[in-house]
Amino acid sequence: MGNPPGAAQPRLHPHDLDRIRRAAAFVAANDTGTVLADLLPGLAPAERDAVAAHSRFTHAAVLVFPHSLGDLHALLLAEGLEAGPIAPSTVVRARLARRYGRSADSLEVGILRAPVTAADGSPCEIEIFALAVPPGSGLDTLAAGERAHDHEAHLALEVTTPDPVVLAGLRATLLDRGRTTADGGGHNAHEDTTVLYFRTGAESGHRRLELNTSGHHAGVLAAHGSTGDRPADRLLHLMTGAWATQAVAVAAELRLADHLDTAPRPTTERLAELTGTHPDRLRRLLRYLTELGVFAPDGTGSHRPTEPGRLLRTDADRSLHPLALLYGGPFYRSFGALGYAVRTGRDAFEHTYGAHHFAHFAADSQLADLFDRSMAASTQMFDPIAELVDFGAARVVVDVAGGNGALISGVLAAHPHLEGVLLERPHVVEAARETLTKAGCADRCRLVAGDFTEEVPAGGDVYLLSRVLHDWDDRQCLAILRRLAEAVPEHAELLVVERLLPAEEDAGPSLAVPWDVHMLCNVGGRERTAEHYGRLFAEAGFELTGVAELPLDGALLAARRTR
């Protein structure tokens, strides 16, 4: 896998340059007061003044991805920014390592600072985090994911009195009165600085706030890294996770995001009329959803969807609305029998409903449609694949169990020389036809209604198998892979999309870990490590040749036949 032949590799991506320019312009146009008003609209003026009395706006931060950290000084100088020396960034490096399942030692992350004068004449700067992404390093997907989501971009306040009591008080004010949520932090030993991050509900593009102060404040960091200051608090938050699932599901059922993302927004009383709900109980639900970060008060007696909340709109791009209904509906009930699945080794879903979830959904057209739309909600996992893989020598791409066609349509749209074949169940083929038509490549893709466990189209140069193997145990996976080995020509490449469990020594936050429990409970399959997939490939007659990261903790595994 790699970039298309002849693709130019700019020393700094245009998106990165644009982020640097916008950050410098923002600093020059703002000061402490305007930044607090922007990020913390829920604070009363007197409360903002109190925060400003103990802190000041110091910088806007961005994360960029040069080929080498040594390139940055010259690149910034060309933008009129004279940066200081590069210092190692342990906090951001650790966050990136956890987010993408990498070893921290494999990432070279530095910090540069370039002075910019704020609107009130005070000295400020832009803070530039830089992850070195040398050509061929395999970090291009990580960079693409960060550019898409700007996880590390933030505005920063420095605590002017480096006292743990002041720091704890500011943290409590930002969380409680400022209606922010804790977003991690750490201690940078190289600079002896404690950093706390917060997620905000700001209407602007600024979603993260950094609060930093000199010294190592271990107690405040310990509190900030949890949902509460005491073990009992943390455990109670975990125990109420089912309540959050249902609250989000009810928000989706009532289409609250659709109703509240309008101008003017309805009052709670009017929203109750629109949704046929009890006004007081709806108000209490909205308060809980606000605490969860799905909605935020808009200052007029109504609420507005936050950035995550907008994904519950029914018309949002890659809406998570159907997924909320699925997780709060059929899977919610079957998860109540998780203990049965763990004790017996059998599927809780089949125990609950009397049939495996594929058969159960297939027998109900509405459930089948909900499941197919839910699968489509996570298709951003596919975004980098068209550019990540070199399709130059290929002519025919076969998508096995290709769902609604999101993956193959992206590949065909990016590579006009390709022809496609999509194999799917009969009732899904029409949805795939619609997706391919919208992408403008329906005339280059043959749709085949059938069962991939029985027959796989021959004659392809690249075969795609997305989010299929995790549905099955190892014995069934081997049968699927052996069927593919019979159909895949010797020269062809097999590309598999799955979430990968982190290796034990690299264990960290990963969506694959809870999904693994979902699979054992509801489907009978499992998530696997790259090594586990490698063993299955080898036994079926394939060799694992490469692994690349994808969004949503996904991975692209490349394999070729060995016999």
Each residue's pLDDT tens digit, 425-438: 888 888 899 999 99
Q: Cα 177–179–184 angle (5° rounding)? A: 115
Residue linked to tokens 């990165």: 16
- Report yes or no: 97 and 104 within 8 Å, Cβ to Cβ: yes
- Report yes or no: 61 and 156 within 8 Å, Cβ to Cβ: yes
263, 181: one domain: no
247, 221: one domain: no
- Report yes or no: 527 and 515 within 8 Å, Cβ to Cβ: yes
pLDDT at 9 over 90: no
User: What is the domain extent for residue 107?
Assistant: 14-231
6 domain residue, yes or no: no
- Out of 200, 231, 262, a domain closes at 231
Rounded CA separation 60/20 (Å) = 9
Q: How far is CA 300 from CA 245, 295, 468, 539, in A?
A: 28, 14, 47, 63
Average pLDDT over residues 138-164: 84
Number of domains in the chain: 3
> Which pLDDT tens digit goes with each residue over 467-523?
999 999 999 999 999 999 999 999 999 999 999 998 764 445 678 889 999 999 999
> 3-class DSSP state for residue 444?
helix
pLDDT at 93 over 80: yes
Of the candidates 140, 147, 207, which has an alpha carbon nearest to the alpha carbon of residue 179?
207
CATH of the domain at 492: 3.40.50.150
> Which pLDDT tens digit goes with each residue over 165-209?
888 889 988 888 888 888 888 887 777 888 898 888 655 556 789
pLDDT at 8 over 50: no
Residue linked to tokens 């927004």: 265
Please name the amino acid found at residue 397: V
Of the candidates 19, 31, 206, which has an alpha carbon nearest to the alpha carbon of residue 119?
31
pLDDT at 445 over 60: yes
Q: How many residues does the structure list for the chain?
A: 563
> Which pLDDT tens digit goes with each residue over 227-271?
444 567 667 878 999 999 999 999 999 999 999 999 889 999 999
- Report yes or no: 312 and 256 within 8 Å, Cβ to Cβ: yes
pLDDT at residue 143 in the model: 86
Residue of 34 and 162 predicted with greater confidence? 34
Percent of the residues in the chain that have a pLDDT greater than 70, as a whole number: 94
Catalytic residue status for 278: no
Residue linked to tokens 């032949």: 5
- Out of 188, 209, 231, a domain closes at 231
155, 295: one domain: no
335 domain residue, yes or no: no
- Report yes or no: 178 and 42 within 8 Å, Cβ to Cβ: yes
Residue linked to tokens 């000295």: 123
311, 409: one domain: no
- Report yes or no: 403 and 428 within 8 Å, Cβ to Cβ: yes
34, 154: one domain: yes
CATH of the domain at 313: 1.10.10.10
308, 457: one domain: no
Of the ranges 50-64, 76-90, 225-239, 381-395, which one carries the lowest mean pLDDT score? Answer: 225-239
Q: What is the DSSP letter of 500?
A: B
**Model pTM greater than 0.95?**
no
358 domain residue, yes or no: no
341 domain residue, yes or no: no
302, 403: one domain: no
Average pLDDT over residues 4-14: 53
Confidence of residue 530 (pLDDT cuts 50, 70, 90): very high
Of the candidates 106, 111, 154, 151, which has an alpha carbon nearest to the alpha carbon of residue 129?
111
Q: Is the peptide bond before 330 cis (omega within 30 degrees of 0)?
A: no
Of the candidates 485, 484, 480, 405, which has an alpha carbon nearest to the alpha carbon of residue 447?
405
149, 274: one domain: no
Q: What is the dihedral sign for C-alpha 176, 178, 181, 186?
A: negative
- Out of 176, 202, 231, a domain closes at 231
Strand extents, DSSP E, 489-541: 493-499
CATH of the domain at 204: 3.10.180.10
Q: Identify the helix (H) or strand (E) that includes residue 96.
A: helix 90-100
> Which pLDDT tens digit goes with each residue over 265-304?
999 999 999 999 999 999 999 988 987 878 887 777 788 8
Which stretches of 292-397 are DSSP H helices? 307-310, 321-328, 330-335, 338-344, 348-353, 357-362, 365-376, 385-388
pLDDT at 446 over 60: yes
Rounded CA separation 497/477 (Å) = 14
pLDDT at residue 11 in the model: 67
350 domain residue, yes or no: no
Beta-strand relationship, 295-297 and 303-305: antiparallel
DSSP 140-156: HHHHHHHHHH-TT-EEE
410, 297: one domain: no
Confidence of residue 451 (pLDDT cuts 50, 70, 90): confident
313 domain residue, yes or no: yes
80 domain residue, yes or no: yes
Percent of the residues in the chain that have a pLDDT greater than 90, as a whole number: 56
Of the ranges 61-70, 158-167, 324-333, 529-538, which one carries the lowest mean pLDDT score? Answer: 158-167
- Single out the catalytic residue among 73, 470, 518, 532: 470
- Report yes or no: 72 and 112 within 8 Å, Cβ to Cβ: yes
334 domain residue, yes or no: no
Rounded CA separation 163/245 (Å) = 39
Q: Kindly give, in sequence order, each residue whose CB lies less than 8 Å from that of residue 164, ignoring residues fewer than 6 positions away.
A: 217, 219, 220
Rounded CA separation 56/190 (Å) = 22
245, 103: one domain: no
475, 495: one domain: yes
- Report yes or no: 124 and 115 within 8 Å, Cβ to Cβ: yes
215, 248: one domain: no
Q: At 562, phi and psi to the nearest 5?
A: -110, -10
Of the ranges 299-308, 525-534, 547-556, which one carries the lowest mean pLDDT score? Answer: 299-308
> Which pLDDT tens digit goes with each residue over 360-414?
998 998 998 898 888 888 888 999 999 999 999 999 999 999 988 999 999 999 9
